[in-house]
C-alpha cells in the first residue's frame, strides 16, 4: 500500500487561473503555457571523494525502511498545443526527474518526497507519448523530448537544475547537459541507456533481420494493434519486470498498474511504433567529452538491458584524477535496470548526499573567490 505523507516540505506548484488555448494544428517551433490544476488527483500510481571520484560498489545499505510515496496532484502544462502532466514539490535548488521508456511520474513515487524533504524543488513530468500526457501520432526522438525538457525548464524551473534520469531518461539528461548547459548544474544517471533503439550495425545479422521485421509489423495498421495488445497485458509487463528487476520484491501490483494504465490509453500503440522506428540518438561516448557539469552515475549490477559492463566508460572517468569534471560512480548489488524503484532507500541517500556535496563545493569556491579578490 502506498504510504501517505504526514507532513509536506512545501505546497505543490499553484495552478494558473486560465490555461492557454490549444492549437488544433500546433506548430513545432514554439512553446508556451502555464500550469493549471489537473482533475487527476493521484498518481497511478561505495564511496570515494575528490574532484574526480573513484568508483566503488555499494556493499552495504541503510536500514531498508520503505520511503513515503508521493501521491500528489498532477498539473497540466500546454506544450505546443499538447497536454503535458507534471508535478512540482518542495522548495530549494531544483531537480528535474526524467523517466524511462514506458514509464511516467509514478515511477519516481518513492524518490520525490525524500528529495523534496532534503531541501529541493522536485519536478517530474510525463514526457509526451507517456504516462497521462497526450499521445499524438508524431515522429518521436530523443532530440524531440530534450527540446520538450528545455521548454519545460524555461517555463517552470528557470534556474540551473540537477537533471536526473533512468535508462533513456538518463541519456536525455546527458543530452540536456551538453545541448543546454545553462540549464543544468549537474546530472544523475541511473543505468543510462546507450541509445533509444538498437543500432542495426550493433546487432548480429540474424537479430538485425528479426528486429527490423518486428518494427515493420508493429508499425503496420493491420498487425500493429494486435501485437501491441499482446505486449501491453499485465502478464507481459510482469514478465518483463521479472527479467530486468534485480529486486523482485519491488514488482508490485501498483507498479504494474503504473506501467499498464498509460499503455491502454488512445494513441499508445502508435507512440510505441514510432519509438521502435525512431533514430537511436547519440552515444554516451560522444556526449561525455562535452560535459562540464558534475555527474553522479548509479548502476544496478543485475541489469540485463544495460549491463554493468556498459558502465566502463563512466567508471574510467570516475577513476581519472585528471578529468576536468567530477564523476562519482556507484554500482548497486542485487539491483537491475531501475535502481530508484528497486532500492530507493539506497538511491535516495546517494543522490541527496551527492547534491549536498555539490552545494558545499559551490559555497567553498565562492568563498575562496571572495578571499582572492585584490583590495582596491
| Helix 253-263 with 234-244: angle, nearest 10 deg | 120
Cell of 316: 574510467
The conformation of residue 310, written as its DSSP 8-state character, comes to G
| Helix 205-219 with 224-231: angle, nearest 10 deg | 110
Q: Which residues contact 365 (CB under 8 A, 6 or more apart)?
A: none
* 3-state per-residue secondary structure call for 253-270: HHHHHHHHHHHCCCCHHH
| pTM of the model as a whole | 0.80
Q: How many CA atoms are closer than 13 Å to the CA of 374, on its beta-carbon side?
A: 1
* pLDDT tens, position by position, 155-190: 999 999 999 999 999 999 999 999 999 999 999 999
Instruction: Single out the residue of 237, 265, 264 nearest to residue 253, CA to CA.
Output: 237
Cβ atoms of 40 and 132 within 8 Å: the answer is yes
| H helix or E strand, kind and range, residue 184 | strand 184-190
Q: Which residues contact 243 (CB under 8 A, 6 or more apart)?
A: 304
Burial 16-31 (b: 16+ CB within 10 A, else e): eeebeeeeeeeeeeeb
Instruction: Single out the residue of 272, 187, 197, 199 nearest to residue 229, CA to CA.
Output: 272
Cell of 65: 525502511
Residue 217: strand, helix, or coil: helix
Instruction: Single out the residue of 107, 131, 108, 141 nearest to residue 267, CA to CA.
Output: 131
Residue 335: strand, helix, or coil: coil
Cβ atoms of 53 and 361 within 8 Å: the answer is no
**Dihedral over alpha carbons 143, 147, 148, 154 (to 10 degrees):** 160
pLDDT tens-place values along the chain, 376 residues long: 333 333 344 444 544 333 344 444 333 333 333 433 333 333 333 333 333 333 455 644 444 456 667 767 899 999 999 999 999 999 999 999 999 999 999 999 999 999 999 999 999 999 999 999 999 999 999 999 999 999 999 999 999 999 999 999 999 999 999 999 999 999 999 999 999 987 766 655 665 666 677 777 777 788 878 888 888 899 999 999 999 999 999 999 999 999 999 999 999 999 999 998 899 999 999 999 999 999 999 999 999 999 999 999 999 999 987 767 799 999 999 999 999 999 999 999 999 999 999 988 887 777 766 555 555 4
For 35-364, CATH number out of 3.30.450.40, 3.40.640.10, 3.40.50.1820, 1.10.10.10 equals 3.40.50.1820
* pLDDT tens, position by position, 76-112: 999 999 999 999 999 999 999 999 999 999 999 999 9
- Could you give the maximum distance between any two Cα atoms of the chain, in Å? 77
Instruction: Single out the residue of 37, 260, 262 nearest to residue 135, CA to CA.
Output: 262
Amino acid at each position: 500500500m502506498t504510504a501517505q505523507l504526514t507532513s509536506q516540505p512545501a505546497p505543490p506548484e499553484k495552478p494558473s487561473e486560465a490555461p492557454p488555448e490549444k492549437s488544433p494544428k500546433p506548430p513545432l517551433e514554439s512553446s508556451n503555457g502555464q500550469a493549471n490544476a489537473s482533475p487527476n488527483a493521484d498518481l497511478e500510481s561505495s564511496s570515494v571523494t575528490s574532484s574526480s571520484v573513484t568508483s566503488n560498489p555499494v556493499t552495504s545499505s541503510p536500514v531498508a525502511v520503505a520511503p513515503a510515496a508521493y501521491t500528489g496532484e498532477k498539473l497540466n502544462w500546454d506544450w505546443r498545443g499538447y497536454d503535458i502532466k507534471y508535478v512540482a514539490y518542495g522548495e530549494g535548488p531544483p531537480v528535474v526527474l526524467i523517466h524511462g521508456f514506458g514509464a511516467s511520474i509514478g515511477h519516481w513515487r518513492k524518490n520525490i518526497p525524500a528529495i523534496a524533504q532534503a531541501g529541493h524543488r522536485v519536478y517530474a513530468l510525463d514526457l509526451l507519448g507517456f504516462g497521462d500526457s497526450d499521445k499524438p501520432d508524431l515522429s518521436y526522438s530523443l532530440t524531440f523530448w530534450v527540446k520538450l525538457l528545455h521548454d519545460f525548464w524555461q517555463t517552470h524551473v528557470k534556474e540551473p537544475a540537477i537533471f536526473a534520469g533512468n535508462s533513456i531518461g538518463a541519456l536525455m539528461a546527458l543530452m540536456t547537459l551538453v545541448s543546454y548547459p545553462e540549464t543544468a548544474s549537474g546530472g544523475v544517471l541511473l543505468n543510462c541507456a546507450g541509445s533509444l533503439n538498437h543500432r542495426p550495425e550493433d546487432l548480429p545479422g540474424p537479430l538485425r533481420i528479426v528486429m527490423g521485421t518486428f518494427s515493420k509489423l508493429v508499425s503496420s495498421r493491420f498487425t500493429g494493434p494486435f501485437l501491441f495488445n499482446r505486449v501491453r497485458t499485465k502478464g507481459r509487463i510482469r514478465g518483463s519486470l521479472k527479467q530486468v528487476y534485480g529486486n523482485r520484491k519491488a514488482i508490485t501490483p501498483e507498479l504494474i498498474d503504473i506501467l499498464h494504465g498509460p499503455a491502454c490509453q488512445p494513441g499508445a500503440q502508435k507512440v510505441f511504433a514510432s519509438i521502435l522506428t525512431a533514430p537511436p540518438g547519440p552515444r554516451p561516448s560522444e556526449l561525455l567529452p562535452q560535459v562540464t557539469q558534475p555527474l553522479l552515475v548509479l548502476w544496478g549490477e543485475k541489469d540485463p538491458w544495460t549491463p554493468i559492463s556498459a558502465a566502463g566508460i563512466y567508471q574510467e572517468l570516475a577513476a581519472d584524477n585528471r578529468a576536468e569534471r567530477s564523476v562519482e560512480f556507484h554500482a548497486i548489488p542485487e539491483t537491475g535496470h531501475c535502481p530508484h524503484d528497486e532500492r530507493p532507500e539506497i538511491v535516495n541517500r546517494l543522490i541527496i548526499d551527492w547534491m549536498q556535496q555539490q552545494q558545499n563545493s559551490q559555497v567553498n569556491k565562492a568563498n575562496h573567490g571572495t578571499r582572492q579578490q585584490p583590495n582596491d
